[in-house]
Amino acid sequence: MEIVFQHLFIQLRQHTKASESQCRNVAARITDEVVRICNESPRIQASGEIENWGKTLANHRFKQCLRYYKLGSARGRVELQSLLSAMVYRYISPMHGSNTYQGRVILIEDFLQGFYVEALNNFRKEAKLPLTYSPRSLLELAEYMAFCERYAKRRISLPGRRSQQLIILRAQTFSKKQPPETSVDMDRAAEGTPSESEDRGDPIVQQLRALLASNNNNPTDTTLRDTIIEEVIQYLESRKQSDCADYFILRLQDLSANEINAILGLTSRERDYLQQRFRYHLIRFALSHRWELVHQWLEADLERNLGLTAREWQSFQDRLTPQQSQLLQLKRQGLTIAEIADRIDLTPTRTEKQWYKLLELAWEIRNRSVS
């Protein structure tokens, strides 16, 4: 199947922005899966067209993976969630209490969180990956989401020559085991009750996480959110913070603390330390590395006075030093940090730090008003 591998590798290199090593790894995993299916299928073995079957299966998996890759991490997750929700909707209903649409949707979301964990564990097992493996890039996340879709649709043989899709069997089992008190817990979750201390922490992290996890149907907002998510992951990986990237991806899936611990192989203390590092890097990304992108999405860019009301904007300006006021004016004129540094007699590094302080002050004033 060397031909299949080379074809997949070339297609991934041509149609994605992933690194060569990532494309090679994904191509190898798809090829191994195709080989396994061809070897285990009596029908394919008896057909005499094993190579053609291999190419067909590989092409199908490539197209699935590419579709999720093009959707992006956020839209891909929404697409997968919608597909799987539709498959199990009629099979999941509260055993106690009101059988409302909203109550059913909440239970489906709870069921799917557990199913995603199961799918990830099976993906690791079948691809012979370590127990700590988690998608770290957009391509790997797309590969995992495509696997989730195929895993959900697998046919499981039942007595009487019948078969059923795996996810439906899981949904039926989940619905039968639903305890009476679960609906109360789900209602609390639906109200947005934070499950971890980090959600009650820094307002920057809280606001960003809420927006990144939202399912906004506005195409412009969705595209911008996808870009931010992808750039946050790239930012973390460029700083050798792949474990923070793993944590970020899992948090976007709204997995519980225990699920994250199990997937990443962490103790509670190790996860707390990881949260602190992730929070630090997310703040650096939001206020320094790509502040224009984040603030545009939050409708808090310079054209909107950093998201401050007229009264807050005046209070903000009153707290600035003459040098900071000059820095702000030059920023509004579109000058770069290097150009501003020459004007205010500072090094580019110190100028960057001063701008960071301005954004932090604006964020503090804005969040104080909201609270």
35's tokens: 């080989």
Q: What is the reported pTM?
A: 0.49
The CATH number of 299-370 is which of 1.10.3470, 1.10.10, 3.40.50, 1.10.3430?
A: 1.10.10
The pLDDT of residue 48 is 82
Q: Which residues have a Cβ under 8 Å from the Cβ of 265 and sit 6 or more positions away?
A: 131, 132
The pLDDT of residue 26 is 95
Whole-angstrom Cα distance, residue 76 to residue 148?
A: 12
The pLDDT of residue 104 is 74
In tens, the pLDDT along 339-350 reads 888 888 888 888
Burial of 100 (0-12, 13-18, 19+ CB in 10 A): exposed
Rounded to 10°, the helix 348-370/310-318 angle is 140
The pLDDT of residue 59 is 92
Query: Tens-of-pLDDT digits for all 371 residues of the chain?
Result: 788 999 999 999 999 999 999 999 999 999 999 999 888 888 888 888 888 888 899 999 999 999 999 999 888 988 998 889 888 888 887 655 445 566 677 788 888 888 998 999 999 999 999 888 889 899 999 999 999 999 999 988 877 777 888 999 888 888 776 543 333 232 222 223 333 444 444 445 555 555 555 545 444 455 666 777 777 788 888 878 888 888 887 777 767 788 788 877 888 888 887 887 887 777 777 665 555 555 454 444 566 676 677 888 888 888 888 888 888 888 888 888 888 888 888 888 888 778 777 777 777 776 665 44
Tell me the domain boundaries of the chain: 299-370
147's tokens: 């696997």
In tens, the pLDDT along 287-342 reads 655 555 554 544 445 666 766 778 888 888 888 888 888 888 888 888 888 888 88
φ, ψ (nearest 5 deg) of residue 336: -80, 170
φ, ψ (nearest 5 deg) of residue 157: -70, 140
